[in-house]
Structure 1
Amino acid sequence: MLIEFGIGLLAVAAVPYLLFGVLYAWHRPSGSPIEKAPYEPTVSIVLPTYNEAAIVERKLADIAALDYPVEKLELVVVDASDDRTPDLVESYFDDGEGPTVRVIRETDRKGLAIALNEGYAAATNEIIVKTDCDSKLAPDALREAMANFVDPEVGGVTGRTGEVLGGSEVESDYRGMQTHIQTLESHLDSTFIFHGPFSAFRRDLVVPVDADSLADDSELALRVRRNGHRVVFDPAVRYAEAAHSGFRQRRTQKDRRAMGLIRLLTRQADALGRHGRYGRAVLPFNWLFMIVGPWLAAAGLTVLTVGAFASFGLAGVALPLALAAFVAVGSRDALGPFQPFYALFDTQVSLLHAALALQFTAADGQWEPEAELREAFD
């Protein structure tokens, strides 16, 4: 009886994946949902920095390499460093060949969300693009993104991880699945998750995010959608970022993201059922995937384990041992064709851990540079 009940819980936890599979097979979406056309608005690039002296010049070179008219670019850097980061930024374009540069020096470190609110308020151009210091943008990222804004209904655009630096197949597999999900969401209406390496918004639609936000990009996108504009995912907008494969290493990086998304969904729960297909399909799917599913999966595995011991005695230890082996091999990117299943399992672990952390720990919106990940850019 316990074994059947556990299997039933796992089956219910699989509902979001089944729903996605059916919708994807029915719709078969690809590319941006927008009929794109060349468009060159003025752009403010907002870059939050904290002790980035080792990598900031590489990021500035990345910005300088963008295929976009430099006279239409403005760089706004919001800095809370106690190293040479702001000085390096201010001197980098001394030859006059780069964009206009504005550095906002925070006297106290206030957190990422507050820094971004300051940067967005200081930006003066038509479109605001937020990017992270520890990411690389494809040279055509701006052009591809701006081509979506030719549609006046589009208020925000995000892109995809074209390359996962550091050799993490776990993250690469997950991002591949995420690309399919976000493409479908955007063709239905709008996507839920916006990504730190590249998020673009019309400046006149930008509103402040919560000071303690851990998902600032997605929160701003959700607010823009609630105010009547679409926020879409365009897979032609590409960037690179680094990621861990190891189970323990991934927890800090991935769990923090999960905490932010769970907090955002629960704080904005009143959007469910509203705002067209966004509230009737996209948000419910993310609720099932991020909030309901992990608890059902954990409960199902627990009941299965108890049932295995009750039915088979010590032989029931085979189930937890098999799960431990699955994690050990998956963390080493060695599951071959089954590696995507581990990527999904790893994501569910993060979501469950994040839900618990939100209940029992303080999440204040501060972020710390990860030196090991940044070495992947060298």
Structure 2
Amino acid sequence: MLVELGVALLVVAAVPYLLFGVVYAWFRPSGSPIEKAPYEPTVSIVLPTYNEAGIVERKLADVAALDYPSEKLELVVVDASDDRTPDIVASYFEGVEDAPTVRVIREESRKGLAVALNEGYAAASNEIIVKTDCDSTVAPDALREAMANFADPAVGGVTGRTGEVLGGSEVESDYRGIQGHIQTLESHLDSTFIFHGPFSAFRRDLVVPVDSDSLADDSELALRIRRGGHRVVFDPAVRYSEAAHSGFRQRRTQKDRRAMGLIRLLTRQASALGRHGWYGRAVLPFNWLFMIVGPWLLALGLTVLTVGSLLSFGVAGAALPAALAAFVAVGSRDALGPLQPFYALFDTQVSLLHAGLALQFTSADGLWEPEAELREAFD
């Protein structure tokens, strides 16, 4: 009986993936859902920094390399560092022709990413706000590709895809590929849920403050803009790169933190379910199944199936947990070959489960410490 129950729970846990597969095969969406057109508004790039002295010059070079008129660019840096970061930023473009306007906002004390971004967004003066991270790189054509979506006045926000995962994590690379397919379908149905820190763009007149304790500030702002009546879309032509851990344990800190933010956002904005077109009727329910319900069903199903196998088959029943342990051990080393994407999904479900538990017993305030290993991969 327990074996059958465990199998049933695992089948139910697989429902989000099956639903996605069927709908994706039916629609076969690709590219941006927007009829893009050349569009060249003024842009404010908001960059939050905290002790980035070792990598900030590379990020500033990344901004300088953007294929966009410098007279239409403004760089707003919100800094809470106690190292040389603000001095490097202030002097980087001195004497450089065709440099963007640079403004550095110094925080008296570190208040968290959401507060820093609210300050940066309030200080931005241009038509479109682009938020990016210091430990990421953006493709030179990313701005032009993103702005072409804003030629449609119904679009309020645009995000992009990971072109490269720095650090060599095939697990994360596989998951980002799957995530890109999900977000493409979401955008063609209506709007996407997740917005990405390395590149998120919004119309300035639609920007509203996010919660001061937000752990998913980009996605929260996108959700609020969608609730206000504008589409927020994923355009795979907008590319960026960021670093990710390969090791199972090392990956937990980075992925669990992101998972905590998305779970908290979904639960706080539960009133959007069933509203705002297909966004509330399909996109948000799918993410609830994938991020909140599915991980618990997976954990419960594996537990019940393991107990049932041990009770039914004795020592032979231990083959199931042994197989699972081998799956994790091999998968975390990027060595599962064609099965690696399945491990990437499993790994994400582990993070979502751990994040759900952490939100029950810890108070996350968004004051994360920089990860030296990831910065080495970026540098």
Report deviation, 1:96.
3.8
Match of 1:297 in 2: 298
1:128 aligns to what SS in structure 2?
A: strand
1:78 aligns to what SS in structure 2?
A: strand
1: CA distance, partners of 2:116 / 2:79: 8
Q: Which runs of 5+ in 2 are unaligned?
A: none
Once the two structures are superposed, the pairs formed by residues 276-355 of structure 1 within 5 Å of their partners are 276-355=277-356
Match of 2:185 in 1: 184
Once the two structures are superposed, the pairs formed by residues 18-33 of structure 1 within 5 Å of their partners are 18-33=18-33
2: CA distance, partners of 1:296 / 1:377: 36
Match of 1:223 in 2: 224
Match of 2:271 in 1: 270
Match of 2:367 in 1: 366
Q: Which amino acid aligns with 1:221?
A: A
Segments of 4+ moved more than 4 angstroms = none
2: CA distance, partners of 1:84 / 1:247: 33
Report deviation, 1:138.
0.3
Q: Which runs of 5+ in 1 are unaligned?
A: none
1:150 aligns to what SS in structure 2?
A: coil
Report deviation, 1:377.
2.3
2: CA distance, partners of 1:352 / 1:289: 11
1: CA distance, partners of 2:367 / 2:330: 33
Match of 2:128 in 1: 127
1:81 aligns to what SS in structure 2?
A: coil
Deviations 1:258-292 (A, max 9, x none): 00000000000000000000000000000000000
Q: Which amino acid aligns with 1:12?
A: V
1: CA distance, partners of 2:323 / 2:95: 60
Q: Which amino acid aligns with 1:7?
A: V
2: CA distance, partners of 1:175 / 1:63: 24
Q: What TM-score do the two structures reach when normalised by structure 1?
A: 0.99
Report deviation, 1:105.
0.3
Are 1:66 and 2:66 counterparts?
Answer: yes
Match of 2:77 in 1: 77
Once the two structures are superposed, the pairs formed by residues 8-23 of structure 1 within 5 Å of their partners are 8-23=8-23
2:195 aligns to what SS in structure 1?
A: coil
2:150 aligns to what SS in structure 1?
A: helix
Deviations 1:163-211 (A, max 9, x none): 0011100000000000000000000000000000000000000000000
Deviations 1:80-107 (A, max 9, x none): 0000000000000001431000000001
Report deviation, 1:213.
0.2
2: CA distance, partners of 1:105 / 1:282: 38
Q: Which amino acid aligns with 2:33?
A: P
2: CA distance, partners of 1:368 / 1:275: 37
2:191 aligns to what SS in structure 1?
A: coil
Report deviation, 1:140.
0.1
Larger mean Cα displacement after TM superposition, 331-340 or 316-325: 316-325
Larger mean Cα displacement after TM superposition, 363-372 or 172-181: 363-372
Match of 1:89 in 2: 89
1: CA distance, partners of 2:318 / 2:363: 36
2:193 aligns to what SS in structure 1?
A: coil
1: CA distance, partners of 2:322 / 2:247: 18
Identity %: 88
2: CA distance, partners of 1:18 / 1:335: 22
2: CA distance, partners of 1:62 / 1:123: 20
Q: Which amino acid aligns with 1:227?
A: G
2:235 aligns to what SS in structure 1?
A: strand
2: CA distance, partners of 1:28 / 1:268: 29
2: CA distance, partners of 1:87 / 1:224: 35
Deviations 1:9-67 (A, max 9, x none): 00000000011011101111000000001110000000000000000000000000000
Deviations 1:223-242 (A, max 9, x none): 00000000000000000001
Match of 1:103 in 2: 104
Larger mean Cα displacement after TM superposition, 364-373 or 142-151: 364-373
Match of 1:258 in 2: 259
Report deviation, 1:243.
0.5
Once the two structures are superposed, the pairs formed by residues 113-124 of structure 1 within 5 Å of their partners are 113-124=114-125
Q: Which amino acid aligns with 1:47?
A: L
- Number of residue pairs matched? 378
2: CA distance, partners of 1:83 / 1:294: 40
2: CA distance, partners of 1:232 / 1:72: 23
RMSD between aligned alpha carbons? 0.6
1: CA distance, partners of 2:344 / 2:59: 29
